Amino acid sequence: TAVFNDLSQRMDSDLMWITILEPMSGGEAVTQEMSAEGAVSAAPVAGAADAGAAKEQKMIDSLRIVGLYRENARGGDIVVDYLSNLRESPFFDLKERSTTDVLIEAENFTPGSKYAGRWEMRLPLPEAARIPFTK
């Protein structure tokens, strides 16, 4: 819960929110993808050759967060401000990373054309905070 609280408290206003928080390993999601209807996509069926294979241990090395931001006078700049606030977080390894390395998208939209714009970030975890898992 400390990470969730930190992510929330570093938002300057209620103009943005997180819709997806996904653990990543080597740039790939460690969870199954969900469809728009909420159903989990089918996992590949393991063949007989895979039955005796040992599961590979990997590390969760980053979090992918996706969210929306509401129409406001500063537009997508509020997402960049949020990233600046996250740089001070002890939970993420952001101090030496450029904005373009972390901020994947901050959708711009014409005021009045829609309610919210999409944004996405990949937040690397410090070496000591990486979490092992098997898949």
Opening angle at CA 135, ends 26 and 105, nearest 5: 35
User: Does the pLDDT of residue 104 top 50, yes or no?
Assistant: yes
Instruction: Give residue 120's domain range.
Output: 2-28+58-134
Residue 49 has a pLDDT of: 47
Alpha carbon distances (Å) from 107 to 67, 119, 122? 11, 6, 15
pLDDT, greater one: 34 or 80: 80
**Domain annotation covers residue 65:** yes
Largest CA distance in the chain: 58
**Domain annotation covers residue 44:** no
The pair of three-digit structure tokens given for residue 13, joined into one six-digit string: 């206003």
**Domain annotation covers residue 51:** no
The pair of three-digit structure tokens given for residue 108, joined into one six-digit string: 């711009």
- Say how far apart CA 75 and CA 93 lie, in whole Å: 26
**Domain annotation covers residue 93:** yes
pLDDT tens readout for residues 24-74:
999 999 887 765 565 555 444 444 445 555 677 899 999 999 999 999 989
Q: Which residue in 113, 81, 86, 102 sits closest to 13, CA to CA?
A: 81
**Domain annotation covers residue 33:** no
**Domain annotation covers residue 49:** no
The pTM for the full model equals: 0.80
The number of distinct structural domains making up the chain is 1
Burial tier of 42 (Cβ tally within 10 Å: 0-12, 13-18, 19+): exposed
CATH number at residue 128: 3.30.980
